A and B are shown apart, each in its own frame.
Chain A
Amino acid sequence: MSLNHKTFPQVVRVQTKWKIKAYSQALVPLLILQIIMAFLTSSGSGTTSLMINQVTVESYFYSVDVFLISTCIWAVITAFLIQTRGYRQTDLSAITNRATGNTANIISLIFFSFIAVIVNYMSLYILVASIQLIKGIDIFPNSELFNFMQFLVAFFIILLAASSGYFISSLFNLSKILGSLFVLVGGFLCIRVLDEQLLTIVKFYFEAGYFLFLVKALITAALLFALPVVFLNGKEEVRE
């Protein structure tokens, strides 16, 4: 019998705190990436135009699209790296097993995704405020400056990206051949049928409205996060 008996939640809590601190470096590239994206979209994220007979109305809009796409790529890579050998071995610095390690990873990724979506919105506000101040042009808000539902949607999009990265990384962890095969087939399908299939996937998630998207995204992310916990649970880690 040990004097230092630790329950599963206690171990996870300690590991999560430790991992959030240890992986906080991932936020630096995110911030730099957001600043680069802000420069790239300084003339607008997109444009729409309307013609009413002789009158043309052009509208340039600043949206979170580019910030969110770049954040999704960041989330995929961060989640992928968190499962690589180097990071996994640092788990051994604390009391751990596969289940606690994976659970702590998932909680850390959810935390980083939440920070990332806040950073996303802040980047948009900073960009627009800077343009208004520097260029002196008026920028209209064509809807509320902050919409909680849109914020949640953006958060779940990032979470989906993070869970995908985590799942792929776990496949590599399980078997390099399996992981490579999954990436190759997935990549081939995406390139081969990029326009139609990708839009079909997007439609599947969004066609029924934002609320149902949140439900679908939650189920998908939960599955993608849970599967690695299940199939990596019995895998041993050897400290080198």
Chain B
Amino acid sequence: MTVFMVVLPILLILIFFSLFLAVSKGIKLKKNFWTAKRISIVTIGYIGLGLIAFIYLTFTNNNDDYKVLTSEEIEQLMKDEIEFNNFFSQKHGDKFNEKYLVDEWSMELSTDEVTFERESEDTYGRVFVLIDWRNDEASNEIYAKTYQIPYVYEGIDLTKELTKDQFEFTGDKLIVKKPPVQQFTFNSISPKMEMLEMNVQMPSASDDILNNAAVGSTFLYLNVPSHVTIIDEGELRFYP
């Protein structure tokens, strides 16, 4: 990369000089081909083409597969994640923002015990489990609510790709599954100087939010009968 950065300007200077000589002296289609009028026509034409491209890009970037979030939306997302963490630390699962509720389900236990496991330490980011006890001697059913803070990378919402089948309930075991190996490739347009953004620490600005990956968290809020024993082998409960 460093070699490229050194060679590129030299290459550009050579190209430029060749072009300059070609245009001003050497290659002329006929005498005074590049008149001021023709140059202004070509330049205005180029700018016009650019404007058409701009309009095209403005109206064709409504991608159906992936949602692209604005810096304001990401900023809100980060605030909401902090709020989630606060309620989580205060054990107020009932105050979780319903906007992020992605699934509501239940597990019927065959015994009075449930085991929490994880297939691998490498789970999708962070999974937090919060328990809310209820007095219900007659039932062995656990009610679960999954809240998902979106995964955002450079403005692209990757949540649906990164949170597929996170949990499995089988044989009185709640398992956080190991994510499969996946690779995604995205192309993005960034009408600014990326080199500056990468090399210079800028003071906080809305653009910085876009540059940071908002790594979503999964909050699993479980409503469990008080007589059920939880064996947390996967250490999913931060506040047992």
A contacts, CB < 8 Å to B: 21-22, 24-25, 27-29, 31-33, 36, 44-46, 48, 50, 52-66, 68-70, 73-74, 77, 115, 118-119, 121-126, 128-132, 137-147, 150, 153-154, 157, 194-195, 199, 202-203, 206-210
B133: Cβ under 8 A from any A Cβ? no
CB-based contact A69/B8 at 8 Å: yes
Number of chain B residues close to chain A: CB under 8 A: 78
CB distance from A156 to the nearest CB of B (A): 11
- Residue B184 lies at the interface, judged by CB distance under 8 Å to chain A: yes
B-chain residues with CB within 8 Å of residue A57 when the two chains form the complex: 153, 158, 183-186
Taking CB atoms, residues of chain A closer than 8 Å to B125 are 52-53
Proximity string of chain B (30-61) to chain A, C-beta cutoff 8 Å, 1 when within and 0 when not: 00001010011011001101111110111011
From the candidates B161, B189, B210, name the one contacting A139 in the complex (CB within 8 A): B189
Of the listed residues B57, B61, B71, the one surrounded by the most CB atoms of chain A closer than 10 A to its CB is B57
Given A25-B34, A53-B122, 12 other A-B contacts at CB below 8 A? A29-B19, A33-B19, A54-B178, A58-B186, A62-B188, A73-B9, A77-B13, A77-B16, A128-B53, A131-B187, A143-B155, A153-B193
Q: Which residues of B contact A195 (CB under 8 A)?
A: 2
* Chain B interface residues (CB < 8 Å from chain A): 2, 6, 8-9, 12-13, 15-17, 19-20, 23-24, 34, 36, 39-40, 42-43, 46-47, 49-54, 56-58, 60-61, 63, 65-66, 68, 71, 122-125, 151, 153-156, 158, 161-162, 178-196, 199-203, 205, 207, 210, 213, 215
* Set A29, A141, A208, A210: member contacting B189, Cβ < 8 A: A141
* A140 with B66: CB separation less than 8 A: yes
Residues of B within 8 A of A58 (CB): 183-186
CB pair B42 A54 closer than 8 Å:
no
Whether B16 contacts A74 by the Cβ 8 Å rule is yes
A28 in contact with B200 given A132-B60, A140-B156, A142-B189 (CB within 8 Å): no
Interface centre among B6, B125, B188 (most CB of A within 10 A): B188
Count chain A CB atoms within 10 A of each CB in B51, B189, B193 and give the residue with the most.
B189
Judging by beta carbons under 8 Å apart, are A69 and B43 in contact?
no
Q: In the complex, what residues of A have CB within 8 A of residue B156's CB? A: 59, 140, 142
